[in-house]
Amino acid sequence: MEISKSIFREYDIRGIYPAQINEQVVHKIAKAISVKCLDEGVSEICIARDGRLSGEKLLSALENSLSNNGIDVINAGLATTPLLYFAAKKSKHKSGVMITGSHNPKNYNGVKLIINDKPVSGTEIYNLINNNTKVPDYKGKIIYRDFKDEYISEIKKNIVVKEKLKVVIDCGNGASGCIAPKLYSELGCEVINLYAEVDGNFPNHHPDPGKPKNLIDLIKKVKETSADIGLAFDGDGDRVGLVTNYGEIVFPDKILMMLSKDILSSNKGKIIFDVKCSDSLPKLIKDNGGIPLMYPTGHFNIKNGIKEHNPLLAGEMSGHIFFNDKWYGFDDGVYSGARIIELILKTNKSISNLSEDLPKLFSTPELNIEVSDEIKFEIVKKFIANCALEGEKILIDGLRINFENGWGLLRASNTSPMLVMRFEGNSKRSLDYIKNEFIKELSRICPNIDINLS
């Protein structure tokens, strides 16, 4: 069957099951991965899947194809993406393949991969699909291994939790339900679970903590139980959402501010953040003796930045947080939650007090405009070429314009058929003005777009 090139993205591979990604497509993807592994001297790779309905069949296809192409396989079964990364770190060649649709709708699935401890883009795999490299004529071994207990044991040695906090966790029926409740209980927390049963139908709400509407149940439960903190995770567990003891949402750039202050208090170094983060973040990093580095959005880009700069911490506005001070440098929502709990106890402050100690931000969450995958990058190019708004223009990922009273951003999502916008001002009035000016300019340049922000 013909494979759609559109599913091979800058960060990973994602498409609709079974129309775009299915067992036959995964067989071909696995053959390409095998070619890449052989080229790099990698003979063994870890694999896992999240809780999506199509995950089990796709993981089986992946396992069979890798083995048939001479690669030894360690199958970790149902896991979060960070658990797969952890397994890869523990393996001989530090390589792994995750079957996951992340935060996409439930009929999507896809592939994230690392080979030789380096992220591999979907476009690179596409270019290897029709490679005629001869693969071995022997089968690789298949081993089934559960890494959950080893992961929990290592986090318990890494994190200091000396008192009992009441924690509400919302797994959104995603894969984090297989690990988060047990981890936080073993850390000594009183855990109140929401939607911890892994169910690829996502019957309660979509597992995307970047959308405030998906945090409504968490906020309600935190208030109802007088909990110390609320944590939410996305479908594959590599992103975290945070709610204070008063039920207020803390955006990830503010989470990065808290963590940066803490880490830089004992160790000076670089901190990476993406183009969607607040202007207050780099200022805080500098004020605390660190070196701020702005990067394009996407775990693929951030991981390459971590390889290049070896920062103490990295993170994105979407909730991906990468600890590289005393952890492994991969994005892990569940571990991030544990670090936030540790921070509360270390400072002896509530999460709301820690948030209030930071600059007051007048900003929007990520705002999305639905467009097709085929035209989203062209729209951004057109906007960059024709935008008449005056200010400092940053072009590392779409167009971010810094004004005297705030900033605005338009970029194309690499994981969904969306344009992404975000705005910040030094007051509510400035924020509304910048947002309106950006939207007016986009309407002028691309009058056919239905600008219905969600």
- Two tokens at 355? 């948030």
Contact 67, 140 (CB under 8 A): yes
Contact 334, 176 (CB under 8 A): yes
Interatomic CA distance for residues 272 and 262, integer angstroms: 15
Query: Mind giving me the DSSP string for 138-166?
Result: SPPPEEE---HHHHHHHHHHH----S--E
CB under 8 Å, gap of 24 or more: what pairs does 143-148 form?
Answer: 143/72, 143/73, 143/74, 143/75, 144/75, 144/77, 145/74, 145/75, 145/76, 145/87, 146/76, 146/77, 147/76, 147/79, 147/83, 147/86, 147/87, 147/90, 148/79, 148/83, 148/178, 148/179, 148/182
Q: Residue 102 catalytic? A: yes
Alpha carbons within 13 angstroms on the beta-carbon side of residue 179 total: 35
Amino acid at 245: N
Q: Which residue has the tokens 């559109």?
A: 6
Contact 319, 299 (CB under 8 A): no
Contact 34, 69 (CB under 8 A): yes
- Going by C-beta distance under 8 Å and a sequence separation of 6 or more, which residues neighbour residue 204? 172, 173, 194, 195, 217
SS3 assignment, position 293: strand
- From the candidates 102, 121, 176, 355, give the one annotated as an active-site residue: 102
Closest C-alpha to 315, from 409, 417, 240: 240
CA–CA–CA angle 362, 413, 294 (5° rounding): 55
- Beta strand 142-144 with 72-78 is parallel
Q: How far is CA 339 from CA 64, 85, 132, 159, 325, in A?
A: 38, 18, 46, 7, 12
Catalytic residues: 102
